[in-house]
Amino acid sequence: MKSKGLAIIFCAFALFYNAPDVFACDCSLPEKIKDETAFREMVVNKYNKAVAVFSGEITDNDKFNIKFKIEKNWKGATGASYAMSTGLRPSGSGTFKSSSCDYSFNDGDKYLVFAFKTQYGDVQTYYCSLTQPLGKAERTEKTLDEFIKEQKMNSKSFEENFGLAFSWHYLNYIL
């Protein structure tokens, strides 16, 4: 009896000792952040780091790439569609590697997507990026709309003030 117990412990140790490293995605999910200032800061931070932020419906999804029909563009997705990597990559000998942080999409569903440039030079999203089904994205969409509106107002205000200052400088130069 004692030898069976030792054998089980030895096998369990050998199994876990030789196991590959596994890393779980660890992030703050938007629905868990109650403070509006902290939430806005997170959305703006992700927006600034992203190469594209848009909402859209999945039109094509193979193992390696996913394509969306754009419904609304906040940043970087200027065409009617946007394609990006799923995160699945060949690792040789017919095998593939992926990350626990890769985002899993459901075909035909609509999403709010934050897309980022990867170390491989392509674009993809990930679990901690604020990418989410549109049905759960109302708060994030509202924050994005408010942020973009503020950016446009600040930009317009700067242009108006700069134009006025330039006009006064030019008039003083002529006179």
* pLDDT band per the 50, 70, 90 thresholds, residue 120: confident
CA distance 168 to 156: 18
Residue 139 has pLDDT above 80, yes or no: yes
* pLDDT band per the 50, 70, 90 thresholds, residue 4: low
* pLDDT tens-digit readout, 88-104: 888 888 888 888 788 88
What architecture does CATH give domain 28-159?
Answer: Beta Barrel (2.40)
Give the pTM.
Answer: 0.74
Q: Residue 140: which of 26, 39, 35, 37 has the closest Cα?
A: 39
User: What's the per-residue H, E or C state across 104-133?
Assistant: CCCCCCEEEEEEEECCCCCEECEHHHCCEE
* pLDDT band per the 50, 70, 90 thresholds, residue 18: very low
